Amino acid sequence: MKKFVFTLLLVLGCQISLAQNSAALFDEFRREKNAEYVSASPFLMFIGKMFYSYNDEGKEIASKIRSAKILDLDECSPDVKQRFSRQFEALSNNGYETLMQMNEDGERIHIQMRMKKEVIRELLIAIIEDDECSLIQVNGKIRKQDIAQLINDQTTNKKKHGRR
């Protein structure tokens, strides 16, 4: 009986230690050789918002962004990129929902989100290819309607200017 309980606790402990969140992912991979990491703190985002003019597109959604991080693994080894890809895909089992996923010509784009009370609190955008690998995290209080409106505005503007 003691062996069974010990084994059960060991298995549960391993599962908990393997569970990742975006902070752990950034912390682990930003220290890799040739990795590039940039973080825009809430204070820096507040200062940046002061320079928006009132009629800029996206100002409304930008005002709802609290902080952002970017991790670029383009210059890292293929082993690092494969490990990152596996760990990012495990996030969906840890409270993240898939907003969008696209696979085309070896390029994979994943957008994961974490919501609280119908508001997106965190967006994770991962771009994974053989030679490129990036992760973008956006924290804030963004409504799904805001994202839909931004996409609609961008699509309408492209049609007006003859772009597709």
Q: Tell me, yes or no, whether 138 lies in a domain.
A: yes
Q: Tell me, yes or no, whether 8 lies in a domain.
A: no
Residue 151 sits in which domain range?
21-160
Residues 61-79 pLDDT 10s: 777 888 999 999 999 998 9
Type and span of the H or E element at 104: strand 97-104
Residues 31-51 pLDDT 10s: 999 999 999 988 888 887 777
Instruction: Give me the pLDDT at residue 12, please.
Output: 41
Q: Tell me, yes or no, whether 15 lies in a domain.
A: no
Burial class for 110, CB neighbours closer than 10 Å (0-12, 13-18, 19+): buried
Q: Tell me, yes or no, whether 4 lies in a domain.
A: no
